[in-house]
A and B are shown apart, each in its own frame.
Chain A
Amino acid sequence: MIYRENGQFKTSYQADQAIFPIAQDRWFVYASIAAAFLVVPFVIDDYWANAVFLPFLAYAMAAIGLNLLTGYCGQVSLGTGGFMAVGAYSTFKLVTLFPELNFIVVVLLSGAITAVVGVLFGIPSLRIKGFYLAVATLAAQFFLVWLFNKVGWFFNYNATGQITMPPLEVFGVLVTGPRATPAASYLFCLSFVAVSALAAKNIVRGRIGRSWMAIRDMDIAAELIGIRPLEAKLSAFAVSSFYVGMAGSLYFAVWLGSAEPIEAFGIDQSFLVLFMIIIGGLGSILGSFLGAAFMVLMPIFLKNFMVDGLGVEVVTAKHVEIMLMGVLIVFFLIVEPHGFARLWQIGKEKLRLWPFPH
């Protein structure tokens, strides 16, 4: 009864096509955004920033990227880790080669470079589908990680092979490096993610998003009604890689601060982001956020519960975490392939009637 759309009529197509046509949704989202921008920066501290918010934002961006490709366009990719690496290393090279560049531009450029690489590795998708394509993306994953590990130019011939982010300012405020305040780093990432999420939502609502979904649902029919598979698939790879590249950039530059290819961008990362979009909901921008939040918070809860609560060893907790991830994946795929996003929708549906039974 609280969540009623009764009485909310739309008098224009524009209103009908709004992201949140129901007023209650709108208020909830505005409130959340307000809280995120106006409340959190004042209460956030180092621990929360580094353990929760920064990884959440970086992974949410990556999850949106992968969701665009796999959830909306149906092209399976196991190369997310490798593409995040492209974004991170692009950022590193850009800031070391052109220190005067505005950091916002650096992040955007890193995304653009990753988009180009993504399109290249996406070309096989024109001929192969399904898990055959997954194998092609594995080629990208292993090759890219090897590349950044071996070729000295990428890590400026540093003896340890690591890349480290120098402190950078945006509009006079430090956002990277150890001296940046958690609030500053957080707000920087938040702004990026918020704008990017809006852009992604706009794209999937329009012509291009529909062509992606058409390819996903029945690519032959899509081609026969005039959608060019080449354009649709490569644009999906391009946009997706753009987002994943930006995610890699934020992940390395703002959150981690320094990184090594195998640890930070290995195949496990690819699986992690894939799990995020499965659990969160394939084909849903909201789902990308929910999945990222879940996968960031779950290990923390598990550790607190098992290690601090039950006194289990840290190693065993890690094993339980791995097992639990697998169980959740299988569970969601069986019970609700559309993930948390769908459960959220169903919840809202129930709210229409609550507290009445029918």
Chain B
Amino acid sequence: MTPERKFGDVILSVEHITLTFGGVLALEDVSFDIRESEIRAIIGPNGAGKSSMLNVINGFYHPQEGQIMYRGATRSKMKPHYAASHGIARTFQNIALFKGMSTLDNIMTGRNTKMKRGLFWQAIRIGPAMTEEIKHRDYVEHIIDFLEIQAIRKTPVGRLPYGMQKRVELGRALAAEPDLLLLDEPMAGMNVEEKEDMCRFILDVNEQFGTTIALIEHDMGVVMDISDRVVVLDYGKKIADGTPDEVRANQDVIDAYLGISQEEVGAVN
């Protein structure tokens, strides 16, 4: 149970988002908001549209209808580069690390939007480019310390075990110093210890840096424990929105997860 915490204003809100592609209706008239410094969980059965929702926030998918309000600015679709350079970072359901690079280099790519030196200085390297590289390396090393992955700094990420890769991906997202962190099933495929570690990191990030977190997760225990508010999606529609306790007791949510048909509900009642 998380004690009541003070949250800021709404940092992001999606309004009446409808998304189709290839004939599939992925999201239908979905609206919810996320408040600053909170941990917002997005849950729902498989295929509910959760990842699609994150992709819309990120700018990878452009919704056919609806609007996205971020930090006061409303737009009908997000551009990935804008999102990335204005404080939105994310991890992916199927790890999207750069397999040909080391852990360190992968996390350094997260700093890309903050590094400015052009081709000429890069080619010479001695001078402004080196100074910039070291400055950002320093920040990345702090993240490496935070995530306790010093030992695998130079290892090509393709060789790392699954749980480690997930952690490196979190590091890459953190490197961008995000205000809003989108996590897509960060604990999928992990054992209990790894999950506890990941939970700890997420909570630390939220508490120490005040980072707002939007989290897709299937493990109900985790969701109920660490999130402040929950949105529930089913077949592309929002069916519940509230605190973990409220959502847990919601009949629609129970039906969605357990798949009770209308007749049975009538019979039970």
Contact = CB atoms under 8 A, between A and B. Distances in A.
Do A and B touch, yes or no (CB under 8 Å, in the complex)? yes
A62 to B, nearest CB: 18
Contacts of B98: 213-214, 216-218, 221-222
A99 B134 CA distance: 45
A124 to B, nearest CB: 21
B25 interface: no
A221 B134 contact: no
A187 interface: no
Interface in B50-94: 58-60, 80-81, 83-85, 89-90, 92
Nearest to B172: A225
Interface in B137-179: 137-138, 141, 172-173, 176
A17 B101 contact: no
A283 B156 CA distance: 14
B130 interface: yes
Interface residues on B, range: 35 or more
Contacts of B112: 207, 210-211, 214, 225-227
A226 B137 contact: no
30 contacts: A13-B133, A13-B141, A17-B133, A17-B137, A202-B122, A202-B125, A203-B119, A206-B125, A206-B129, A207-B108, A207-B122, A207-B133, A208-B122, A210-B112, A213-B98, A213-B100, A213-B105, A217-B97, A217-B98, A218-B96, A218-B98, A218-B99, A220-B96, A221-B96, A221-B98, A224-B59, A224-B80, A224-B96, A225-B109, A239-B119
Interface in A245-267: none
Nearest to B115: A207
B137 A210 contact: no
Given A210-B101, A226-B81, A199 B89 contact: no
Nearest to A16: B137
A225 B89 contact: yes
A75 interface: no
A290 B172 CA distance: 34
A270 interface: no
A308 interface: no
A217 B124 CA distance: 26
A18 B105 CA distance: 14
Contacts of B141: 13
B133 A226 contact: no
B53 to A, nearest CB: 15
B200 interface: no
A210 B81 contact: no
Most buried by A among B60, B109, B172, B176: B109
Contact of B119 (A13, A14, A208, A218): A208
Given A206-B122, A207-B117, A210-B109, A217 B101 contact: yes
A245 B98 CA distance: 30
Given A222-B98, A225-B172, A210 B58 contact: no
A210 B124 CA distance: 16
B113 interface: yes
A9 B112 CA distance: 28
Contacts of A225: 84, 89, 109-110, 112, 172-173, 176
Nearest to B136: A207
Contacts of A211: 109, 112
A228 interface: yes
Contact of B99 (A205, A208, A217): A217
A338 to B, nearest CB: 10
A223 interface: yes
A200 B119 CA distance: 10
B20 to A, nearest CB: 20
Given A207-B133, A218-B96, A235-B119, A223 B125 contact: no
B123 interface: yes
Contacts of A228: 81
Interface in B17-38: none
A69 to B, nearest CB: 14
Interface in A165-222: 199-200, 202-203, 205-211, 213-214, 216-218, 220-222
Contacts of A226: 80-81, 83-85, 112-113, 176
Contacts of A224: 58-60, 80, 83-84, 90, 96
